[in-house]
């Protein structure tokens, strides 16, 4: 595991998104925009059918992504 404190002394811009939410086209466009943003760390969520450890918002996004195929 990397100690991110070495790279980001006090602050890091972190983004999270569920891949495929709300659909693949929007998700891809969003990721391309993030590539041009000051985001330091990007966490990508992969939708799965039983997101018991996720909160309601992420679980809902995962369900929508899965419903899209």
3-state secondary structure 30-49: HHHHHHCCCCCEEEEECCCC
**pLDDT of amino acid 1:** 65
Of the pLDDT bands very low, low, confident and very high (cuts 50, 70, 90), residue 6 is confident
pLDDT digits (tens, 9 = 90+) for 8-63: 777 888 899 999 999 999 999 999 998 889 988 899 999 888 877 888 999 999 99
* Whole-angstrom distance, CA of residue 13 vs CA of residue 18: 17
**pLDDT of amino acid 16:** 92
Q: Which two tokens stand for residue 33?
A: 């925009």
**What are the residue numbers of the active site?**
43, 54
């Amino acid at each position: 595991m990397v100690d991110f404190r070495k790279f980001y002394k006090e602050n890091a811009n972190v983004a999270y998104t569920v891949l495929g939410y709300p659909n693949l086209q929007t998700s891809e466009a969003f990721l391309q925009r993030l590539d041009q943003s000051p985001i330091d760390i990007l966490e990508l969520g992969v939708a799965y059918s039983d997101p018991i450890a996720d909160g309601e918002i992420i679980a809902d996004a995962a369900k929508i992504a899965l419903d899209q195929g």
